[in-house]
Structure 1
């Protein structure tokens, strides 16, 4: 970029560039260049301005998601009443109709297929509504110490069969011993499974999915960092900015709530979730948790 500005006088304005700090934490630098001219009005050099906008972009994203969350929370009670009750009645009556037709031996094969589709769609609508309520409901997690190392081991075993079916190599790199985090094991598991499943979907022709975990120190605080990296199709820049927005999805069968719920769960745990991606190269999701208990510090006792 600097070479383009010096040699060809091609300048950029507020271009965001990714980079990693010494502790491998992802950052975003916003760069601008401008022509520097001398007293004789001839080019004398280039002015380069670089600003770390990582925190600003994260805050902007949190505000955007929080605004949508507030609107959803306001509507959630009405949606639950207006949709859940008739949906339950439909589901119940479909099952009663199917049982009665089978008892009378008057259920043709084609009719059975129609009922199967209706039952499946009722179940899908119920799942969508459940996800909507999970996202809109105020955060409430049962806090206890969670062994992330054991949790990752469990998820790897759980996802191994699907990985083999999809011709995906599933690997893990876990630093031992890992400190515990304070949180809800079921909720954290939901986040990790959702991200791994997304990684699988991004590799239709197979690839590599690597889950890594390590402890880091940043700003005087100890954190546990879990990353999920895939070699999939990647996410376009304009789509990446919206991945945490509720109901935003690029999948034909997706609800657009998976990462929105993951964002909310991480927020409830006092942690963060970040996604970086390069189209054609792959995507990395990074989860950051505060460590449950800091290491004991020696205390001098005097009498």
Structure 2
């Protein structure tokens, strides 16, 4: 099982070798267990003594009753100390004593009364012996099943808790009877979930649980359990209570939990309620430490973000000419408007209104230049993703402005089909812009070899099946439909000098946003890439 490594002392991998960890004792067998041990010692003596007494009474007394029937008590006592084979032997011995007693008491006389009593006794002993042997075999199977379950319970690498939620079930039933719902309870009584946690009684826990949470015994873990659920876990507690409220027999969630030695674990826990115990008297909770897996996922996401940033900067390098042109335009306009304003003011009679107009144009052009630089800084910076609502049509228009020189350099004819009434998209605007830039640059480069027909690039946005869709379609050479599934794999490329990371990063960005990307090849020529994004929930 993975263990926490970040910021904590590394723990050895748990391996079960049939022994309990040091300092952990076998559970107390309790009064019934001790009583069973005493019975196993007393029963052979009692059985031997009882058989001796029955034989003496049956042989030495003239009672006209089937005294030997009492041997069934000897056979039943044998259940406490003998296995199936020995029970059969004891039963056969009792039958032999019955016959011996008959011979000693009656000799060669075979009167109907004594013979009938002897046959009744033999029948009773035989039937009881067979039933006792069958019961013993069943007990052996049950005992083996219990030992196997206990071995699995103690040795498995997943923490297993056997718990009693009956008080929680009683509280839920009372609230449901009063006509209250879980949402109303959460709004009116925020501390309800924490109180219910205190009512979840731990019955038993396996060794993995004690190792995972740093507990010396089940009693220590039981006492500390309510404090091991931090505030971050309350959302999962409310969800679990909601599942129990609705009568669900299973619940699963990922959350944070504390340990007795002060560590914090990312855990995946499941709650299973037997369908035959709806009163929640027996609930099985399993807990898996996924801290190492979560840290690995975070490291992977960080590496993907770093790679996406590098690719974004590399793309900006390819667009240097377009960027310089985009920045030079407002700067040149500022100079032109400034010179015009000076001329208006230097006249014998200054034209103040014309001068104001020139100055206002200079301010507007400066803001344009500032906006361009701000967008470029956002694209090149290594900042934390910012989730927010944004207009998809505005993003497309802004991106086209950035890549205009790329479009002109490849003689691509651009057509836009934008729906201005779309609901806003939700996500990191810069990352989605990176996806669109990659798709446009790929399309321009793909059409760079096209001769004898138009180089058309179409970009559109719309709503389909409740999601926002953005389409980039080119008239390039396209691709083999058999390779469509490989286009988004890392290091797969159809370019001579390509790295094969652009589309892979696009897919990673979109999947992180809850969206997706797909490619389709046209029948004659060209390729179409369709991006799906979730709309902002508040706008729906």
Normalising by structure 1, we get a TM-score of 0.49
Normalising by structure 2, we get a TM-score of 0.28
Structure number having the greater strand percentage: 1
Larger Rg: 1 or 2? 2
